Amino acid sequence: MQPAFATDGTTATPIWLVDPGTWPQVRARLDPAAIAFAEATGFEPKPGRHALLPDAKGRLAAAVFGVDPPGLAGRDPFLPGRLPALLPRGTYRFAEPPADARLAALAFALGAYRFGRYQKGGEREVRLVPPDGSGADLPCVAEAVYLARDLVNTPSNDMGPAELEEVAKKLADRHGASLRSIVGDDLLAANLPLVHAVGRASTRAPRLIDLAWGDPSAPKVTLVGKGVCFDTGGLDLKTEASMRLMKKDMGGAATVLALAHMIMGRGLRLRLRVLIPAVENAVSGDAFRPLDVYPSRKGLTVEIGNTDAEGRLVLADALTLADEEAPELLIDMGTLTGAARVALGPDLPPFYTDDDGLADALARHAAAENDPLWRLPLWHPYDQMIESKVADVNNVGTSGFAGSILCALFLGRFVAAAKSWLHLDIYAWTPSAKPGRPEGGECQAARALYALLCERYG
């Protein structure tokens, strides 16, 4: 069982989720001592307000917590994610399952997350008995989000390409999947020249991690995640401020591993493949340079307009490899462009696809799972902006415009056979804490994608 959840609810303390419309009925069901305490402390059923209510002997009898009323525009279904920081140590249950029991329970679990690798203590040991109707897979989903957050939060000295591979291996072993890895100069022999070019300057060997699971005859779904374990920007060096958070530049890899954990844990009827180009974009005498031209696995030559646009380069080779199997669904994601953050902010990743049905379904699940995404266009008239005078394509545009769209258009050149392709430009970080989303590494888009895949292959 995932650490934030408990199985035994016999002694669990009830939590009443209330709003102005339901508070009078709940109040009438409380003990007189609890009612008196709530009145004495001035509790109001406003979103985020709480009170710990005693019984006649002064022991904790219940908690009340204010939530948004149903139907309110902009209501936050993750508000119960604040509870783990408000409640004393113990086991709790919702006194009455809320209408969105799954999201409320998930928010509680995600709000209980702490990154404790380097600090001992601080665990509050606050647990929730999952309510009926929240889903048997809920602990696995929460565990997967924890996995992604842990990977992104781990500093790069402890999370390089080899360490990322070890995490993938442990996940493969847990679920009976196979895993192979192509490392260092073997990337050239395997015709993955862009992955090699980006990662060769580091003392930590680049690699292509390849996980496979499921019935080979089932529909093929392939996930490709950007695994740049640290990004200096290369010779187009980032500024100090821009480099500070670059331990999170493997957020795409962390997220596809989390999604893979959900898929394999649920046992979906599909053939899963996960490809992670894991590199460190470092600076040395062997670093790739601006205006260098490299071949790609697909055969297209790529001019390097900027060495800080390295994520799309490693994804290009991995996408080509994935596309050779002509999967039914090919999904790639990575922490790719600042332009996406400028356009939509840190909490709302854009996605791109030419499959309208896929886009509509993903948007529906993103809303239902409180895992927000927003579709942006693959605007092909902008293809001319990544033309090169000396190669087949440039890895950046000729101006500062439409950076996220241009990245998607660049990657689209390496996909031809997949039935449907989906590209996500995620941030993988929560800059300031929100209910259910502590400050730090974040697992964006995985829950929405998981719900989509459950609908299709469950």
**Tens digits of residue pLDDT in 246-286:** 999 999 999 999 999 999 999 999 999 999 999 999 999 99
CA count, 13 A, side-chain hemisphere, 189: 6
401 close to 309: Cβ distance less than 8 angstroms = no
Categorize the per-residue pLDDT at 343 as very low, low, confident or very high, splitting at 50, 70 and 90.
Answer: very high
Tell me the torsion sign for CA atoms 325, 331, 335, 339. Answer: positive
**Under a CB-based contact definition with an 8 Å cutoff, are residues 113 and 78 in contact?**
no
CA-based R_g, the chain, Å:
24
Residue 8: pLDDT band (50, 70, 90) is confident
- Mean pLDDT is lowest, of 38-52, 118-132, 427-441, for 118-132
Beginning with the edge strand found earlier in the chain, give each strand of the sheet holding 393-394 in spatial order: 293-295, 301-303, 393-394
Sign for the pseudo-dihedral over CA of 400, 404, 409, 415 = positive
Q: Residue 2's pLDDT band (boundaries 50, 70, 90)?
A: low
Q: How far apart are CA 304 and CA 417, in angstroms?
A: 26
Position 36 pLDDT exceeds 80: yes
Closest CA to 153 of 447, 444, 442: 442
What's the CA gap between 417 and 323, in Å, rounded? 6
Count Cβ atoms below 10 Å from residue 285 Cβ, excluding itself.
Answer: 5
pLDDT, one tens digit per residue, over 372-383 is 999 999 999 999
Comparing CA positions, the residue from 109, 120, 93, 179 lying closest to residue 146 is: 109
Given a cut of 50, whether residue 363 has pLDDT beyond it is: yes
Map residue 284 onto helix, strand or coil.
coil
Structure token pair of residue 40: 């004495």
CB-based contacts of 455, cutoff 8 Å, min separation 6: 361, 365
pLDDT (tens digit per residue) in 72-122: 888 999 999 999 999 999 999 999 988 899 999 999 999 999 999 999 876
Note whether 233 and 191 are within 8 A (CB). no
Percentage of the chain with pLDDT > 90? 91
Predicted pLDDT of residue 319: 99
> Of 49, 114, 124, 238, which one is the catalytic site residue?
238
Say what the pLDDT of residue 70 is. 86
Q: Which of 25-39, 136-150, 158-172, 206-220 is predicted least confidently?
A: 25-39
**For the purposes of burial, counting CB atoms within 10 Å of the CB of 136, is it exposed (0-12), middle (13-18) or buried (19 or more)?**
exposed
Domain at 140-457: CATH code: 3.40.630.10
pLDDT confidence band for 9 (50 / 70 / 90): confident
Check if 170 is active-site.
no
Cα separation of 258 and 274, whole Å?
11
Element (DSSP H or E) covering residue 263: helix 251-266
- Return the minimum-mean-pLDDT range out of 69-78, 181-190, 232-241: 69-78
pLDDT at 336: 98
In contact, 66 and 49? CB cutoff 8 Å: yes
CA 206, CA 183: separation in Å to the nearest integer? Answer: 6
The 3-state DSSP class for residue 387 equals coil
Taking the chain, what is the end-to-end CA distance rounded to the nearest angstrom?
Answer: 22
Other Cβ atoms within 10 Å of 192 Cβ, number: 24
Residue type, 358: L
Q: What's the mean pLDDT in 161-189?
A: 98
Reduced to 3 states (helix: H, G, I; strand: E, B; else coil), residue 375 is strand
CA 76 to each of CA 36, 47, 363, 436: distance values in angstroms, whole numbers, following the listed order: 29, 9, 17, 10
Say which residue the tokens 């069901």 belong to: 29
Distance CA 290, CA 262 (A): 40
For the chain, where do the domains classified as CATH 3.40.220.10 start and end?
13-134
pLDDT at 289: 98
Q: Where residue 401 falls among pLDDT bands split at 50, 70, 90?
A: very high
423: which residues sit within 8 A by CB, 6+ positions away? 331, 332, 333, 351, 352, 353, 408, 411, 412
Within 8 A by CB and 6+ apart from 448, the residues are 362, 365, 366, 369, 371, 373
Which pLDDT does position 1 carry in this prediction? 45
**Count of all residues that appear for the chain in the document:** 458
Active-site choice (220, 266, 312, 341): 312
pLDDT at 10: 84
Mean pLDDT of the chain: 96
Long-range contacts formed by 39-45: CB under 8 A, 24+ apart? 45/18, 45/19, 45/20
The DSSP letter of residue 158 is: G
Q: At residue 327, does pLDDT exceed 60?
A: yes
| Mean pLDDT (whole number) for 14-30 | 95
The pLDDT > 70 percentage for the chain reads 99
Could you tell me the pLDDT band of residue 370, with boundaries at 50, 70 and 90?
A: very high
Architecture of domain 13-134: 3-Layer(aba) Sandwich (3.40)
- Which residues of the chain are in CATH 3.40.630.10 domains? 140-457
- Evaluate whether 52 touches 64 at the Cβ level (below 8 Å): no
- Name residues whose C-beta falls within 8 Å of residue 8's C-beta, 6 or more positions apart in sequence: 91, 129
Q: Is 238 a catalytic residue?
A: yes
pLDDT of residue 122: 65
